[in-house]
């Protein structure tokens, strides 16, 4: 199978299964300093504790799965395996096994995004950003992306909703002050300041997701009543204006007492 075929077009596996089948063809060792990370990869927050654990495992067992790279001048850009590369450096390895792929920059980005999503160790915001990038860069619908990743469309949709949150709320998810579930519920509020206000309330009062959902439902009920009231006010003002034209004097309608007053 050609490495230049679209990773998304080939489904979940992308190029990763070729490595996981323990194929030795094409694997070679290179100086670890000749490899550099891909800036386009979705994982922005590196869990140093997990890197240290992986480094310890590499010290004991070595790197079981080679790093997938793309040649870039005299160096190699990581397509998949940045955590292994970081852990190998921490473990003091001088050389690491790689598999070099001759693919375009766009295909490299595609594979990197899918590999990271498959690993399921992205935080919720990084995962949502990865979905958005795949949709934007490859012109996919949410349904198409869901099919290619083996996920449900609602799962993709709900993940993307997190990106509509106020940045302060997003930071609270990243800092694990509130959960992804809280974020998805809070995203139902359009007002950014109100989102942040609710998130603070969640933290201060220790609200769970269900309690947060009830809170937002009550806010929406109040909002609906206010909007209906405003609509009614417009209707009454229209009647007042019509009566004013008929009687030639200012007209005031009192909603509470159902009384029309001519002035």
Burial of 253 (0-12, 13-18, 19+ CB in 10 A): middle
Whether 115 is catalytic is no
Distance in angstroms (rounded) separating the CA atoms of residues 5 and 7: 6
Are the C-beta atoms of 79 and 48 separated by less than 8 Å? no
Decide: 106 and 137 in contact? Cβ < 8 Å.
yes
Q: Find the catalytic residue in 20, 29, 52, 82.
A: 82
- Chain centre to alpha carbon of residue 17: 25
Spatial separation of the C-alpha atoms in residues 109 and 36, rounded to whole Å: 14
Identify any residues that bridge with 30 across adjacent strands, giving them in sequence order: 96
Taking CB atoms within 8 Å and a gap of at least 24, the contacts of 204-207 are 207/182
Rounded CA gap, 45 and 192, in Å?
Answer: 24
Residues tagged active-site: 82
């Amino acid at each position: 199978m050609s490495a230049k075929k679209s990773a998304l077009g080939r489904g979940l596996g992308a190029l990763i299964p070729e490595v996981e089948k323990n194929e030795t063809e094409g694997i070679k060792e290179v100086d670890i300093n000749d490899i550099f990370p891909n800036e386009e990869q979705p994982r922005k927050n590196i869990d140093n504790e997990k890197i240290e654990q992986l480094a310890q495992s590499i010290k004991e067992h070595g790197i079981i799965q080679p790093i997938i790279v793309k040649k870039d001048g005299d160096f190699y850009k990581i397509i998949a395996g940045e955590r292994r590369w970081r852990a190998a450096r921490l473990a003091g390895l001088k050389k690491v096994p790689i598999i070099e792929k001759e693919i375009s920059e766009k295909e490299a980005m595609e594979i990197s995004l899918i590999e990271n999503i498959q690993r399921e160790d992205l935080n919720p915001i990084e995962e949502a950003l990865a979905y958005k990038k795949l949709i934007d860069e490859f012109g996919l619908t949410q349904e198409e992306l869901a099919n290619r990743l083996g996920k449900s469309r609602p799962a993709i949709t709900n993940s993307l909703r997190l990106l509509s949150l106020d940045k302060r709320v997003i930071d609270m998810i990243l800092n694990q002050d509130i959960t992804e579930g809280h974020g998805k519920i809070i995203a139902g509020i359009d007002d950014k300041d109100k989102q942040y206000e609710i998130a603070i309330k969640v933290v201060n009062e220790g609200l769970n997701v269900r309690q947060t959902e009830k809170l937002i439902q009550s806010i929406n009920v109040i909002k609906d009543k206010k909007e209906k009231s405003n609509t009614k006010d417009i209707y009454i003002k229209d009647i007042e204006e019509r009566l004013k034209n008929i009687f030639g004097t200012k007209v005031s309608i009192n909603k509470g007492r159902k009384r029309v007053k001519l002035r």
